[in-house]
Amino acid sequence: TKIFQPFSTMYEFDSGALNPQGKLISRRLSDMSSMYQDSEAVQALLNDNPLIYEVYNVEVPENEEHIQHCTTILYPGKVGSEFFMTKGHYHEIINRAEIYFCLKGKGLLIMQTKEGEFSSLEMEPGTIAYVPPYWAHRTVNTGDETFVFFAAYPGDAGHDYGLIETEGFVKAVMEQAEKYALVANPSY
């Protein structure tokens, strides 16, 4: 057996970034334009193509021995009245769980199973959310500042975006009367 060397990473409290930054993933509106409800609002924003979120991912091997960990920085904003959000996914190995720890800002963690069960949890600094095995998960920035959370999950979990890309989530998170509302997604 090859022994892996211990190491640490610094979390930057102001920005939410990691140092060293690891593998950085950036997603703009054009990377997920079909996931928002209001296609006219999408078209109107596509020229600017806003940055919606970034993931700083500590690089460890993608196998069951290891624990993937990363921060997600989800910027504030809306597409029409739908809040900025992550793509969302099931794990490729669907029975792999995950822990989210909110560090900054506020948001909503929405989850669903393939049987159509739906659940949501509010996140604020200090909230530790548990995503159990079999639940797809997406985060939504429901505030007006940057929403940041740390995540840890089994090394071999993988990400399956396919079903979410075609069907979406059971509910969309929209702004209504200066609060958020969960609205049925007609294409689910």
Indicate whether 36 belongs to the interface with ligand PAN (CB under 6 A). Answer: no
Indicate whether 72 belongs to the interface with ligand PAN (CB under 6 A). Answer: yes
- Give rounded-to-5 percent helix, strand, coil for the chain: 10, 45, 45
Q: Which is nearest to 32 in space by CA: 155, 164, 172?
A: 164
DSSP string, 116-144: --EEEEEE-TT-EEEE-TT-EEEEEE-SS
Pair of tokens at residue 113: 């199973």
What is the nearest approach in angstroms of Zn ion to the Cβ of residue 57?
Answer: 12
Q: Which is nearest to 150 in space by CA: 118, 123, 168?
A: 123
Indicate whether 69 belongs to the interface with ligand PAN (CB under 6 A). Answer: no
Number of residues that bind ligand PAN (CB under 6 A): 14
Among positions 47-106, residues that touch Zn ion (CB under 5 A) are 98
Indicate whether 140 belongs to the interface with ligand PAN (CB under 6 A). Answer: no
Beta-carbon contacts of residue 96 (< 8 Å; ≥ 6 apart)? 133, 153, 154, 156, 157, 158
Among positions 45-64, residues that touch ligand PAN (CB under 6 A) are 55
In the complex with ligand PAN, the residue whose CB is nearer, 82 or 98, is: 98
Among residues 16, 22, 88, 154, which is the contact residue for ligand PAN, using CB under 6 A?
88
What is the nearest approach in angstroms of Zn ion to the Cβ of residue 116?
Answer: 19
Question: Residue 163 — φ and ψ, nearest 5°?
Answer: -65, -35
Among residues 26, 132, 145, 159, which is the contact residue for ligand PAN, using CB under 6 A?
159
Question: Residue 2 — φ and ψ, nearest 5°?
Answer: -85, 125
In the complex with ligand PAN, the residue whose CB is nearer, 42 or 136, is: 136
Note the residues at the interface with ligand PAN (CB under 6 A): 55, 70, 72, 86-89, 98, 137, 139, 151, 153, 157, 159
